[in-house]
Amino acid sequence: MRRGLTWIAAAVLVMGGAAGARGEEAGYVSNPGCVICASPAVAEIVFALGCGGRVAGVSDFTDWPPEAAAKPRIGGVLSPNRERILALAPEMILAQGQSEALAGFAQAYGIAFHTFPLETLKDVRAAITGLAAVLGVENAGQALLARMEAEFADLPACGPVPVFLALNHAPGDFSGLMTCGGGTFLDELVTRAGGQNIFSDVPGGWPRISRETLIRRNPGLIVDVQAGPVDDERRGALLSDWERLGFRREQIRILTEEYLLRPGPRAPQSAARLSAVICEKTSGSALKN
C-alpha cells in the first residue's frame, strides 16, 4: 500500500491551499535542459510532454513511465536528499503543492523552482499548461490536453451508481480506511465515470471513514483500490471484510491499477477503468473479482 498511497499521504500535508507558485525568486531559466521532478505525478507529466531527456532525477516511488523509473532518485516527496540534488546540478526543480522547504533550498542555491497544485482535474490541466510553458513546449502541452479531452469524451454513459471509493483498506483492518472528498480529482473521476461519490458532500481532502458512517450511507458499489498486486489469499480476506459489514460480494470490486491514484495524463484511463466497473454494475451483470 505504501507505494501507491504515498502521494495521498503527502497530499494531506502539502496540497491544501497550494498555489501554482512560479518561484522566480529562485532564479529564472528559459527552456531548461536539466530538471529535477520532485513528485511522481510531475515526472509523469514532464515525460508525457516529451521532455524526459531533460530529467536528471526523480523522487522516490516514481514508477511511470519506465524511463522515469530508471532515473536517479532524490529522496521522498517530503524529505528530498539535498546533496543528491546538488550533485545532479539541475537548472530547475519542478514540484507539487506546497513545497516550502524545497523552494527555500532552491532559492539558497540559485536553482529555478516551480510548483503546481494537483488536487483537481482543473489543477492537472493547469499543471500541464504550466509545465509546458516553463519547459518551452507549449504545443506539446496543447496536444496532450486535447488528447485527454478526447479520451474523456469517449467514456460510455453509465450510472448513476452510489459509489464508495475505498482507500487504505488492509485485510482485517478498517482503522485506516479513507476515501476521496468532494472536489478532489478522484471524486471528479467517479462522476465522469457515471458514479455518485457518497462522500462528495465532504469538502475536499481525504477523510477517514468509520464503518458506521459507511453503512449508513449505503453505497451500491464499493471500489476497493489496492496499491499493488493482490493474490487470491489477500483478495479473499478483503472481500470477507466487506461481507462482515453486511455488503454482498457482488457489490465489491477490487482494483489494483496504480494509475488510479495519480493525478496526471492517465486521468482518462482511470476514469475509463472506473466506468467499466460502474457500467458493469448498471447492466446488472455480476461483478468479477
Cell reading at 199: 462522500
Q: Give me the half-sphere count of Cα atoms (radius 13 Å) on the Cβ side of residue 198.
A: 20
* Cell numbers that stand for 59 in this block: 523522487
pTM of whole model > 0.85? Answer: yes
Cα–Cα distance, 129 to 127 (Å, whole number):
5
- Which domains does the chain carry? 2-152 (3.40.50.1980), 156-283 (3.40.50.1980)
Q: How many whole angstroms separate alpha carbon 275 and alpha carbon 280?
A: 8
Q: Is the peptide bond before 162 cis (omega within 30 degrees of 0)?
A: no
How large is the C-alpha radius of gyration of the chain? 20
- Per residue of the chain (289 residues), give pLDDT as tens: 444 454 454 444 334 333 444 433 345 677 899 999 999 999 999 999 999 999 999 999 999 999 999 999 999 877 889 999 999 999 999 999 988 889 999 999 999 999 999 999 999 999 999 999 999 999 999 999 999 999 999 999 887 999 999 999 999 999 999 999 999 999 999 999 999 999 999 986 899 999 999 999 999 999 999 988 899 999 999 999 999 999 999 999 999 998 999 999 999 999 999 999 999 877 754 444 5
CA separation for the pair 52, 66 (Å, rounded): 11
What nine digits make up the cell of 224? 476497493
Instruction: Order the strands of the 35-37 sheet from edge to edge.
Output: 55-58, 35-37, 92-96, 112-116
224 vs 177: CA distance, rounded Å? 10
